[in-house]
Structure 1
């Protein structure tokens, strides 16, 4: 039976409906295109001049500003780029601004990528700007600015300039004002002609301004040499001068005016780094001539200086620094120094390093306002400035170059929080010993509260005192100690002159050997020789020793000075004053065994911190000499020597209280008896601090009651 082939399937009802929808959609699309073409044609023929007033109205509502066009106006597509042309264009500033207009231009002619106005970064294919003036300003709270078109608090955004492929900019000025940074600058641009997102020739920018009351000038050049990568890369070279400092900034900008996030090379030089940072109200100690270089990257409120390297004075510096311009200016830095010259360290205690280098510490102290022949500086802390910024610093120093005391491996941690400055910890190695300290300067209290807590670990005497006549070979003794003082004042001198506390240095068992030294200064070697009235032929054997002072009201009294050696007991009385820097002490060595010829008598330490002296002639010695002369006259010459006989009755010290750093009242003999030959630490009869070092002799009878 034959079969027949099936015929074509009958059309369904949905297919005609789909074709109708497609035809309608095509007609709608053609209609839209026709309308768009008609609009484009009308705009192209009329140049959109009829949109002038609608543009002013719409732009004003969108920006919350007054937008006006005082001359010709054009807005149309040509053919796919948006052409915008306006003469005497102005955009007002918000009411809080100090200038009336954000932007004015004698003429602006541009070709804009339309979609960039809706998506991504705005892009100008071409910009021709004549007689433009741009005014950029932050409000006092730093939460709004003139270029962010919103009246809400906290709406201020960083400046985001469009990408510009080709530009001709002539007769244009830019003003920038930031009340929080206290910065205001005005810059004028030379004529700019750029092609392919690059400037065709060098363009100059000149300007001036004021940063935190410090005037500055700047000169910049924008250029695009052939070696520069094409498509939007321009080299910046800028030089600014302020407060005797010169700052050079160079780098490659990815577009005509983009700086944020761009690595820039910065070099700075000047006579004093403190003057440079003082421009932004940051207080640091003075320095000698400096040269520094770093890489700068700015992101929002942060300015990060990395790869920092350079010199100040005869010292080097490396590390990084971040400056944050937030509600409070904050500095965070990590610094390293291979070698710090001791002269460059002088500003840390208030000395001018240039004066120290040329005239010495005494002249530097005098320059701070203290009297003549003084050493403690009287330079005031910058209290107001310290309360305006915060800081965190970590600084390591490998070696400090010093003539007398070897110092190395300095580890300094600094924190400044609203006027409270702490150096904690501050550690360094000194003569193979370690010094650890915690220092506080609290300027929030008036006058400032100052605390010193300095700890010295066991340190070899031979190396520590090598610069003062002690022989390192043959000296096995060590010293350890602690200084705890609390005072008030805005200078080091004032804080110490009012200080209370204790200073104690302990000498465990060991030996001390001195070199031959001249009596030209307060020399440890000379002092020890005068103590024993002969040149030492062998080291002094120390059993234990304590040199301690109780400090009350800036006056330090021996409490006690007690050193027990194999042959003598050395005791001392008197003290010194932080108020007028006078020294008035007497130290004597009493023999433990019989000595036929003894000139042992108090050796005076007199003068001042700046000019200490040794006085081996005391009233005790003169009395002995007079008695000997009398015996020799009335009896026989042999009898004269009896005045110099030492019966050797010195009482050896119990080393327990000595090594524990106990006060004079706790000291005992080896038999357990209370000692009556050491000072009691009283300052009740101390001088009142109004005298001068030259008056020390006249005050001696009332100063701490020495022998």
Structure 2
């Protein structure tokens, strides 16, 4: 029997999985369960917050007083106490904080026990501001608050920086929208500046983020032992109590000075980096700077203004301008209150009155202006008729601060000396004061100098090095009545002295070195030369012929002095003209300021009537005396009179005849500024008429310089 063929294979039909629907339901269930859990957690947290809020609101958070004291004390590293009522809770979304008789202690090194204390403080705080660090107070009521702000001795920490590590941060205040402040005081102490200030803050009442009236501050204190008084106002009627535009106006009085400060502050105490306009006036600028321990010479009355920016320990005064006495001044000044006080300044002056420069050598400028230099010198303790001041350098104070100064002066207003284009660089470092370089133009010539006062050596070691470039004589002497026309001679020279002393007078009284001024070939007025020569015949002849201003040729000239222990001796004084040779002897003393010099001219040509006697210069620096009619001239006049009586009038004239035997000078040693021993005639022979570089005292041991007893005899006897 045939078997039927198998049926063809067909694709299998998939069957539904009974677990798939169950898995989808499980995922949805898990999501719903997670949402319920999160919701329950949130509700629980919210409930807890409500409960906490409710508990705090009901209890006013008074039970948190001691935890608050411990927590804040730990954060500030200071004991914090609240002796009266305490409240800390949300009301409703702002943190309300109330504390009575609250104190925050100062660190152990402070001079007062508390940084902050208040009879009562009541405030509303923005909660999120505590999280983000930008503290904001919606409202503040402070009664009888007292704040003590201090720096430590080495300026490494302050009382308002809550840290165990060194370093003091600037004082910052929170933003305050509405405030009432009553009976609050602030004390500030800075040992480095030696500053203590006690300030009283006027009552503050503000509303809607507006102060409504000026906030006043009054107080007093001392700075470096100098009492001062200060008053200030914050004018902010249209700004927030803090973090707004606070217009500051302050005035301080100290040591006969008045200082005004004004500017716009970003906060009540935020002065760092803020440009402030300052104005100062007073009778003496040295009194103002002396308050911060900076010593400058006395000045006349001053008025100055500048822009002040304080940045850390730096106080930068820019755009400075004003007057000191009759002189203008402009520039900038930076005062750095670091380990050592340091001043760095750049100044310019268009016109400096010569009287205002008097303090730089120790004079009081007011006395100079009213009574003259001699009276000003006497005021420093100098002997009568002395012109050099005895004012001592402020040795100890100069060691307390350092300074750098660059000062340029266009013109110096002076009756006699045409000085201009002064360029001064001053460097003071730990008691060593250097005026180097100090240069200026004088009568179309230039003077370059270096002066150093080293107070680290006792007594002070002083070095003077003053160099005069070739300068026209006519212009240089024009202020003394010498006309410039007809005078083409020039002069150059150098003063190099080293001494010891704490005043200019003492340093020069002990100085040793050399002074030399060289006059190369040129022309001088006949009148000036002939008056010095006392060649009466030539002088009278030219006077009657109206040739008084005819130029006289000068071959070369040298005025040289050797200085030993404060006494300067001519070494040499020698001028060679076409007609005469002029020599001088003697010297002067920095100790007594005495002058004792004698000049004599010998003619190179025959002169029928010539005095030919020395011209003496005596007296003192302040009052020199010209002795034209000398003993020798009187003796020659007496001899002439005797000859006329016993012989004839013609014979009497022989006493005044100059045979003209003067030996011309070799100009090489003269122009080299050589000493007397190196001087020669044109024939090369040593000169025997220019002395040995010694005074009469050194030559014969007689009296002090300036005494007439033997000095007159010696001077006249050497010719």
Distance 1:18 1:437 in 2: 94
Q: Does 1:44 align with 2:57?
A: yes
Are 1:190 and 2:196 matched, yes or no?
A: no
Pairwise CA distance, 1:264: 1.2
Alpha-carbon distance change, 560 to 566 in structure 1, aligned in 2, over 3 angstroms: same
Instruction: Give the Å deviation of 1:48.
Output: 1.4
**1:600/1:71 CA distance change after superposition, 3 Å:** same
**Change beyond 3 A, Cα 1:311–1:12:** farther
Q: Is the 8 A contact 2:696 2:714 kept in 1?
A: no
Aligned length: 696
TM superposition shift of 1:595: 1.8
Residue 300 of structure 1, aligned match among 302, 312, 318: 312
Q: Is residue 133 from structure 1 mapped to residue 146 from structure 2 by the alignment?
A: yes
How far does residue 46 in structure 1 lie from its aligned partner after superposition? Answer: 2.3
1:319 pairs with one of 331, 335, 341? 331
RMSD: 2.9
Among 377, 385, 388, the residue aligned to 2:389: 377
* Residue 145 (structure 1) shift: 1.6
Q: Counterpart in 2 of 1:456? A: 468
2:160 paired with 1:108: no
The structure-2 alpha-carbon separation of the partners of 1:169 and 1:228, relative to structure 1 and needing over 3 Å to count, comes to closer
CA–CA distance in 1 between the matches of 2:530 and 2:216? 69
Give unmatched runs, 5+ long, in structure 2. Answer: 1-12
Q: What is aligned with 2:684?
A: 672
| Separation of aligned partners in 1, 2:521 and 2:485 | 16
Contact 1:266–1:293 (CA under 8 A) maintained in structure 2: yes
Q: Which residue of 1 aligns with 2:661?
A: 649
The TM-score normalised by the length of structure 2 is 0.91
Give the corresponding residue for 2:137.
124
Match of 1:161 in 2: 173
Query: Can you give the 5+ residue segments of structure 1 that lack an aligned partner in the other structure?
Result: 516-523
Given that 1:569 and 1:591 are in contact with CA atoms closer than 8 Å, whether structure 2 keeps it comes out as yes
Q: Which residue of 2 aligns with 1:74?
A: 87
Question: After superposition, where does 1:418-457 map in structure 2 within 5 Å?
Answer: 418-457=430-469
Aligned residues of 1:574 and 1:705 also touching (Cα < 8 A): no
Tell me by how many angstroms 1:582 deviates.
0.5
CA 1:61 to 1:476, structure 2 compared with 1: closer, same or farther past 3 Å? same
1:215 corresponds to which residue?
227
Offset at residue 207 of structure 1 (A): 0.3
Q: Is the 8 A contact 1:198 1:230 kept in 2?
A: no
Judge conservation of contact 2:393–2:502 (CA < 8 Å) in 1.
yes
Distance 1:48 1:337, change over 3 A: same
Which of 234, 255, 279 is the matching residue for 1:267? 279
Once the 2 structures are TM-superposed, how far is the Cα of residue 198 of structure 1 from its aligned partner?
4.3
Q: 2:593 aligns to what SS in structure 1?
A: coil
Alpha carbons of structure 1 residues 224 and 659: separation in structure 2 relative to 1, 3 Å? same
How has the CA–CA distance of structure 1 residues 138 and 699 changed in structure 2, closer, same or farther, with 3 Å as cutoff?
farther
Report the CA distance shift for 1:604/1:102 in structure 2 as closer, same or farther (over 3 A). Answer: same
Distance 1:306 1:207 in 2: 28
* Cross-structure match for 1:700: 711
The change in CA–CA distance for 1:165 and 1:704 in structure 2 (over 3 A counts) is farther
The aligned runs of 1:357-436 (5 Å cut-off) are 357-436=369-448
Matched-pair contact (CA < 8 Å) for 2:533–2:600: no
Question: What corresponds to 1:617 in structure 2?
Answer: 629
Q: Structure 1 56/378 Cα, relative in aligned 2: closer, same or farther at 3 Å?
A: same
TM-superposed deviation, 1:45: 2.9
Contact 1:341 1:401 in 2 (8 A): yes
1:256: which partner in 2? 268
Q: Is the 8 A contact 2:697 2:704 kept in 1?
A: no
After TM superposition, list the pairs within 5 Å mapping 1:574-593 onto structure 2: 574-593=586-605
Equivalent position of 2:9 in the other structure: none
Give the 3 Å change call, closer, same or farther, for CA 546–43 of structure 1 in structure 2. Answer: same
CA separation of 1:691/1:677 partners in 2, compared to 1, >3 Å: closer, same or farther?
closer
Three-state SS of the structure 2 residue aligned to 1:493 is helix
Q: 1:511 to 1:641 in 2, by over 3 A?
A: same
